[in-house]
Chain A
Amino acid sequence: MAYILIIDDDEDFSNAAAIELRGVGHEVAEELSIEGGQDSIKARQPDILLLDVMFPEDSAAGLKLAQILHKESPNLPIILLTAVNQEFPLGFSKKDIDNVHMPVNDFLEKPVDLGTLGRTVAELIKKTQ
Chain B
Amino acid sequence: MTAFVYQLPLEKETKLPEEVFDSEVSLSVGPLIRNVTWFARLRFAVVAILLSFGLAGLFGHEYFEKLGLLLPRWWPIWMGVILCGLNVGFVLYTRRMARTQSNRSIRIAFSSQIIIDLLMLTAIVHFLGSTNTFASFAYLFHVVLVSIFYSRQNSLYITLLVCALFIGCVVAESTGLLATGRVFVPGTILHREELSLLALILHVASAVAVWIAAWYLVSRQTSFAKQRDAALAAINRRLVEAGRERSAHMLRTTHEIKAPFAAIHANTQILLKGRCGELPAEARNIVERIEQRCRRLSEEIKQMLQVANLQSRGQQAPVPESINLRDCLTQCLVTAKDRAVEHGVTIETDLHSVSVEAVQDHLHMMFENIISNGIAYSHEGGTVKVTCGPRGDHGAEVSVEDQGIGIPQDKASKIFQDYYRTQEAVKHNKSSTGLGLAVVRRIANKHSLRIQVETEPGRGTIFRIEFPQRENVNQLSN
Contact status of A19 and B251, CB under 8 A, knowing A85-B258, A87-B361, A88-B309: no
Check: A83 CB closer than 8 A to any chain B CB.
yes
Assembled-state Cα–Cα distance A93/B315 (Å): 19
Within 8 A of B (CB), among A79-128: 82-91, 93, 95, 110-116
Task: Tally chain A residues at the interface, Cβ within 8 Å.
Answer: 30
Contact B250 A88 (CB under 8 A): yes
Interface residues of B in 301-341 (CB under 8 A from A): 302, 305-306, 309, 315, 318, 338
- Which B residue's beta carbon lies closest to that of A53? B255
* In the complex, chain A residues whose CB is within 8 Å of the CB of B309: 85, 87-89
B254: chain A residues at CB < 8 Å are 83-85, 88, 91
Whether, in the assembled complex, B263 has its beta carbon less than 8 Å from a beta carbon of chain A, the answer is: yes
* B270 A19 Cβ-Cβ under 8 A: yes
In-complex Cβ contact of B262 among A13, A20, A115 (8 A): A13
A12 shortest CB reach to chain B, Å = 4
- Give the residues in chain A near B294, CB-CB below 8 Å: 111
- Is B258 a contact partner of A111 (Cβ separation < 8 A)? yes
Q: What residues of B have a CB within 8 angstroms of the CB of A82 in the complex? A: 255
Minimum Cβ distance to chain B for residue A96 (Å): 11
Question: CA separation between A116 and B334, bound complex, in Å?
Answer: 12
> In whole angstroms, how far apart are the Cα atoms of A46 and B315 in the complex?
41
| A112 with B262: CB separation less than 8 A | yes
> A83 with B255: in contact, given A13-B266, A111-B298 (CB under 8 Å)?
yes
Among residues 226 to 284 in chain B, which have CB atoms less than 8 Å away from a CB atom of chain A? 247-248, 250-252, 254-255, 258-259, 261-267, 269-270, 273, 275-276
Complex Cα distance A87/B365, Å? Answer: 8
Among A20, A91, A115, max chain B CB count under 10 A is at A91
Closest to B248 in A: A90
B360 on interface, CB distance cutoff 8 Å: yes
Q: A10-B259, A87-B306, A88-B309 are in contact. Are A111 and B266 (CB under 8 A)?
A: yes
Could you say which of A82, A110, A115 has the most chain B C-beta atoms within 10 Å of its C-beta?
A110
Among A15, A87, A114, chain B packs the most CB atoms within 10 A around the CB of: A87
- B residues within 8 Å of A by Cβ? 247-248, 250-252, 254-255, 258-259, 261-267, 269-270, 273, 275-276, 294-295, 298, 302, 305-306, 309, 315, 318, 338, 360-361, 365
5 residue pairs, one from A and one from B, having the closest CB atoms: A110-B262, A16-B266, A12-B263, A83-B258, A111-B265
